């Protein structure tokens, strides 16, 4: 086995025993990036030199007996999480040369744990998209089929993990941006409870929805990364001072007593691909065979989730992205001498079409005379969706659904139809609106050989039950062991 094929847990074991060094492991990953990055396009920035320096320091710490489960492990970071001294672009021309003067809280935690950061991954510009085609830098391809999208907006992170171009990654999830690409690339992805992981240093898209989370090769690795990045941070006013358990402790066998809710609305959704339906239905059967009890639940306001999300998220984006004016940092059109002309030209040239579309949508929704009709109504729908989940969880511990209505689609297939693209997130958006944890685990393949993911959602701050359910499913199947031939 090549070292880049190892999971985080496997690599940590070898490093602890001194059977491999971090330099060897990191070198193997960097060689893998050199080999396949030209085909996949997962990275915006590869930090080979600094990664090898970090690996050398990790080896030194390991020799002294200072080792955590992440010491010396090469990880990638979605390019909207601030990394001190390492370019952070949000895949946008407006931040093309921005180098943060500080680390995000999650990066500080990873560095303290001894992890090695090999680079920053591609994404939809400012996380606005479901396919990574909206990147202002490059298009990322799905390692399982290079003619298909990897999902979005954390498409670079999911593609990098699937193609063994890192051992794990951090992404962000605003409406499905970790879970959907994880599904399309056949890896594990978790969106933690809102407030579980600090957002300090995460470049904001929609502040009441954004959450940082792990993308990994298997469930144990997901638990390891959750252990590293979770916890209260006084630097983030939305961070919650809730005790953090050892997430890997939930990765043990046994689902007896666990009740899984199957939303009737999700499984009757229009446009649900037959391959996805069959794979998720098989996943339900596997969980039942493992001792879980599956019951029907109802989430009656699901049909309004997409509409509510595409009022709330663009409204918050309109406010958050007002700071990119060509004055404080980032791109500036220096050909314009008048202030208002400079503002207009900088934002027109700096933002891509999808970001401009959402800023316009959000500004309209917040404008005088329309606020009550759109934004206020959307927040009321959000409350109803939260109530739906609260009622559903009276009957179950976990809610199970598809992640995306279809397997990965062809690059360019939906770029001219933004409404159809938005519906790609129909199953994932509700968890963000409700602030609950959700995760995607591989559960099958389409007739064309493309991965399909199954979504698990839980009560607030109950990521543990998701990991337990996912771990048992993973142990009973081998979907996560299959890798793209690239």
How many CB atoms are closer than 10 A to CB 438? 30
Per the DSSP assignment, residues forming a β-bridge with 121 are 43, 78
| Calpha distance 209→314 (Å, rounded) | 11
Strand, helix or coil for residue 441: strand
End-to-end alpha-carbon separation of the chain, Å? 15
Strands 116-121 and 212-216: unpaired
Tokens of 262: 């199957």
Catalytic choice (78, 191, 459, 468): 78
From 12, 22, 105, 177, active-site residue = 177
- Nearest-angstrom CA–CA distance, 330 and 307: 32
Assigned token pair, 297? 């639940």
With beta carbons less than 8 A apart as the criterion, state whether 230 and 196 touch.
yes
Question: Residues 358, 314: contact at Cβ < 8 Å?
Answer: yes
Q: Is there a catalytic annotation at residue 177?
A: yes
Q: Which residue has the tokens 């609305």?
A: 265
Query: Which of 178, 156, 162 has the alpha carbon at shortest distance from 41?
Result: 156
Cα(175)–Cα(24) distance, rounded to whole angstroms? 37
3-state helix, strand, coil in the chain (%, to 5): 45, 15, 40
Chain centre to alpha carbon of residue 305: 19
Rg of the chain's alpha carbons, rounded to an integer?
Answer: 21
Give the other-Cβ count within 10 Å of 372's Cβ.
8
Nearest alpha-carbon partner for 455 in 470, 465, 445, 435: 470
Instruction: Identify which of 293, 457, 314, 467 has the alpha carbon closest to the alpha carbon of residue 386.
Output: 457
Spot the catalytic one: 135, 153, 172, 430: 153
Q: How many Å is the maximal CA-CA distance in the chain?
A: 70
153 is catalytic: yes
392 neighbors 263 (Cβ within 8 angstroms) = yes
**In whole angstroms, how far apart are CA 79 and each of 23, 72, 477?**
24, 21, 33
Smallest CA-to-CA distance from 7 within 278, 221, 209 is with 221
Contact 178, 63 (CB under 8 A): no
Residues 6 or more apart from 105 whose CB is under 8 A from it?
Answer: 198, 200, 201, 233, 235, 236
Which sequence positions are flagged as catalytic?
Answer: 78, 153, 177
């Amino acid at each position: 086995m090549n070292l880049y094929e190892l999971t985080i847990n496997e690599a940590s074991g070898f490093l602890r025993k001194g059977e491999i060094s971090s330099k060897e492991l990191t070198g193997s990953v960097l060689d893998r990036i050199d080999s396949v990055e030209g085909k996949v396009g997962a990275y915006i920035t590869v930090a080979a030199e600094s990664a090898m320096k970090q690996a050398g320091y990790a080896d030194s710490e390991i020799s002294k007996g200072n080792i955590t489960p992440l010491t010396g492990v090469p990880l990638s970071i979605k390019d909207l999480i601030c990394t001190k001294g390492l370019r952070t672009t949000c895949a946008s021309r407006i931040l093309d040369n921005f180098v943060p003067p500080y680390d995000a809280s999650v990066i500080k935690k990873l560095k303290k744990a001894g992890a090695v950061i090999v680079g920053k991954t591609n994404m939809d510009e400012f996380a606005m998209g479901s396919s990574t085609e909206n990147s202002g830098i490059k298009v990322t391809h799905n390692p399982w089929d290079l003619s298909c999208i990897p999902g979005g907006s954390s498409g670079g992170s999911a593609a990098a993990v699937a193609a063994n171009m890192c051992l794990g990654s951090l992404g962000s999830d605003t409406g499905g941006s970790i879970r959907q690409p994880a599904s399309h690339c056949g890896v594990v992805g978790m969106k933690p409870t809102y407030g579980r992981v600090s957002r300090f240093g995460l470049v904001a898209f929609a502040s009441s929805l954004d959450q940082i989370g792990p993308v990994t090769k298997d469930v144990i690795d997901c638990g390891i990364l959750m252990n590293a990045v979770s916890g209260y941070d006084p630097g983030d006013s939305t961070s919650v001072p809730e005790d953090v358990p050892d997430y890997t402790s939930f990765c043990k066998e046994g689902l007896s007593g666990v009740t899984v809710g199957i939303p009737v609305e999700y499984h009757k959704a229009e446009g649900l691909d037959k391959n996805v339906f069959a794979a998720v239905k098989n996943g339900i059967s596997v969980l039942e065979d493992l001792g879980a009890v599956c019951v029907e639940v109802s989430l009656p306001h699901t049909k309004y989730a997409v509409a509510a999300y595409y009022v709330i998220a663009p409204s918050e984006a309109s406010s958050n992205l007002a700071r990119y004016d060509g004055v404080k940092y980032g791109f500036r059109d220096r050909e314009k001498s008048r202030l208002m002309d400079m503002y207009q030209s900088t934002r027109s040239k700096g933002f891509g079409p999808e970001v401009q579309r959402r800023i316009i949508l959000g500004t309209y929704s917040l404008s005088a005379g329309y606020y009550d009709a759109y934004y206020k109504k959307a927040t009321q729908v959000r409350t109803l969706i939260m109530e739906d989940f609260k009622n559903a969880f009276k009957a179950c511990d976990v809610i199970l659904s598809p992640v995306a209505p279809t397997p990965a689609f062809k690059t360019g297939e939906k770029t001219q139809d933004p409404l159809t693209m938005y519906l790609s997130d129909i199953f994932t958006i509700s968890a963000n609106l409700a602030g609950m944890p959700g995760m995607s685990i591989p559960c099958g393949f389409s007739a064309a050989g493309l991965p399909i993911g199954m979504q698990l959602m839980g009560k607030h701050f109950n990521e543990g039950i998701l990991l337990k359910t996912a771990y048992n499913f993973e142990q009973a199947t081998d979907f996560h062991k299959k890798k793209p031939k690239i």
